[in-house]
Homo-oligomer: A and B are copies of this chain.
Amino acid sequence: MVSIFYFINNEIKRLSVKELTQCLHLPEGILWVDLDDPHEAEEETVLVSLFDVHPLAIEDCQKGRDEEGHLPKVEDFGDSLFIIFNPVEREIHGEGKRAQLRLDIKTTQLSAVLSKRTLITHHYKPQRSITNAIQLLSKNPQTLGRGPDFLFHMIIDDVVDNYTPILDALDDTVDAMEEEVFRSPGQRTMVRILQLKKNIMTIRRVAVYQREMLHRLSRGEFPLITNDEMIYYRNVHDHLVRMTDLAESYRDIVGGLLDAYLSVTSNNLNQVMKVLTIISTIFLPLSVITGFFGMNFKHLPGAEWEYGVAAATVFMAAVGAGMLWVFKRNKWL
């Protein structure tokens, strides 16, 4: 689906593709063309015929069909900038605690061609940032009137703001995992920790690439971003610095969780071994004592004695109690 917004005389008009063809020759007006999961024919018409986008850029746009999409990048074609951004989405499986522990984060691809008077955005998956930008335009046409670079900043700022709820979810997951590790660690705990680590690495990688990209966009390397707008891009850059920082500290925490998990299972082993040792240490000697009095010697001491059994029982109880006392003293119980 192709949506076209045309800002002229302080208002926004929605155009059809046909009308667009006519507008392109006018000397005025600012255009935003959004390609939302376009057919190949639409891509052909808009990107190739109308805007003459470089074939390599179109090829990169189409990587968006892949599961992970193209990595973030910015390419300078002289009179236009080609930019790829990776919005991040959370897929929710199950409910409540279970959903918390099975955090699943996916990256999508949002491509954009930014030139002096035009912004083209291209994506195969629905993007909340684009929907929000369309709503904003209807309220405040000036958003597009300030130039395509301002509108584009709004969109990527929205994309980056969208990381916040995902990082919050990550925070909850990390807390829930911490509890699981210390309360009820099991085989699946390891699987979950590794899954969590992968998710964090995904976010970190995307944030790092985008941070580098925004660093370049905000330091005046590209003349298409005006000086006035650069400060807004710097702001997005700051948010991405924060994201990267958070992702890195989560990585450290998950590394700590792994250590904790191994230490907890090793402690459990110690616990089990102590029980085994205590049981063996008490009952093996008792077994020898009963065996002793079970020997078939004729002159077994005390065998004839009326209180023999009682004495043996008392002796055995004493041995058992003595062992327990030794354990107590060594703080094993």
Contact = CB atoms under 8 A, between A and B. Distances in A.
Contact of A249 (B201, B253, B283): B201
Nearest to A279: B281
A297 B312 contact: yes
A328 to B, nearest CB: 14
A104 to B, nearest CB: 16
Nearest to A311: B297
Given A245-B205, A276-B276, A294-B294, A231 B54 contact: yes
B290 A294 contact: yes
Interface size grouping (class) on chain A: 35 or more
A263 B261 contact: yes
Nearest to A327: B275
A258 B259 CA distance: 8
A231 B77 CA distance: 9
A273 to B, nearest CB: 5
A26 interface: no
A298 interface: yes
Contact of A295 (B73, B256, B294): B294
Contacts of A262: 259, 262-263, 266
A297 B245 CA distance: 76
Contacts of A187: 182, 264, 267
A175 interface: no
Contact of A290 (B56, B272, B281, B288): B288
Interface string A181-203: 01000010011001001100100
Interface of A: 54, 56, 59-60, 70-71, 73, 75, 77, 182, 187, 190-191, 194, 197-198, 201, 205, 231-232, 234-235, 238, 241-242, 245, 249, 252-253, 256, 258-270, 272-277, 279-281, 283-306, 308-309, 312-313, 316, 332
24 contacts: A75-B231, A187-B264, A187-B267, A190-B259, A194-B256, A194-B259, A201-B252, A262-B266, A270-B272, A272-B332, A275-B277, A277-B279, A283-B285, A284-B287, A287-B287, A287-B288, A289-B291, A291-B291, A293-B296, A295-B312, A296-B300, A297-B302, A297-B308, A297-B312
